[in-house]
Amino acid sequence: MEIFSDEEATSLSPEAQCPECHGVGYYKEAVPYGHPHFGVLFPCHCKLAEKEGRATNALHRMSNLEAFDNKTFETFDPTIPGVQLAYKRALEYARHPRGWLILFGNYGVGKTHLAAAIANTALRRHFRVLFSIVPDLLDHLRTTFGPSSEVAYDDRFEMIRDVPLLILDDLGTENTTPWAREKLFQIINHRYNYALSTVITSNRKPEDIDSRIFSRMSDRTLSEEIILIDASDYRRLTIQQRYPVSGRRRFQ
């Protein structure tokens, strides 16, 4: 392997330098003139790993999962009437995140908890995941238009639509401007076309969701079933009901 340049590498300690590119980040193949790869710069594996690490960190920051770090399968109470099927499907999906998982239900029935539990499980397995409440996701896109943004719109949009596992919480609560509707449709349509793993939760009625989006959510080739969580609002339970003295402390 022929190194393109070592000018930048001289400022790095030997221990910090990649043995392949000596800290430059790129290399050229030692091929004769006329070869398709002659003079072409290729990113070194260390450069690719650095890029992957930056993307993972950016997704983690956007996910803001610190606010949901107690939302795990261990802290979810599957004995509450009406949540058993959703809990079972979410647990299965977290183990093998393929296709789409769609959760419908009223406020306070555990949709966000299960969605965050899937995200936290994926993170523990070093799986690239983006967890976002839909209005926040669109805000992340809007901020790229600001003069102080350090991220280009195209880069962030590509990162969102191509992340291996995307979890969209509270679909239908976003500001229904033409721009918001179109961006959201583009993201979901891209993931539909490429069958990318996606989890969607919503407390809206199907007829309140963009018909183009709901049609894709309903495709049985990606999501075998749309799960309706028919349970009571957990937030209305008393402290004693939530945390019985003899039981394990749980969060909903």
53: closest CA among 128, 123, 119? 128
Q: What is the CATH number of domain 56-242?
A: 3.40.50.300
Contact by Cβ (8 Å): 136, 173:
no
Dist. CA 199–CA 101, nearest whole Å = 5
Categorise residue 71: left if φ over 0, alpha if ψ from -120 to 50, beta otherwise: beta
Q: Which residues pair with 103 in a beta bridge?
A: 201, 227
What is the structure's pLDDT at 147?
A: 75
Q: Which amino acid, residue 244?
A: P
Average the pLDDT over each of 12-26, 127-141, 204-218 and give the range with the smallest value. 12-26
Give the residue among 166, 163, 231, 233 at the shortest CA–CA distance from 200: 166
| 72-105 burial code (b ≥16 CB/10 A, e <16) | bbeebbbebeebeebbebbbebbeebebbbbbbb
Which of 85-94, 104-113, 151-160, 212-221 has the least mean pLDDT?
Answer: 151-160
pLDDT at residue 232 is higher than 90: no
Instruction: Give the pLDDT score at 32.
Output: 80
Higher pLDDT, 35 or 107: 107
Instruction: Using alpha carbons, select from 113, 53, 51, 50 the residue that is nearest to residue 78.
Output: 113
Is residue 249 over pLDDT 50?
no
Average pLDDT over residues 197-213: 94
- Give the mean model confidence (pLDDT) for residues 146-166: 87
Which of 81-90, 165-174, 228-237 bottoms out in mean pLDDT, i.e. has the lowest?
228-237
pLDDT beyond 60 at 179: yes
What is the pLDDT at residue 171? 96
- For the chain, give every residue range classified as CATH 3.40.50.300: 56-242
Residue 115 has pLDDT above 70, yes or no: yes
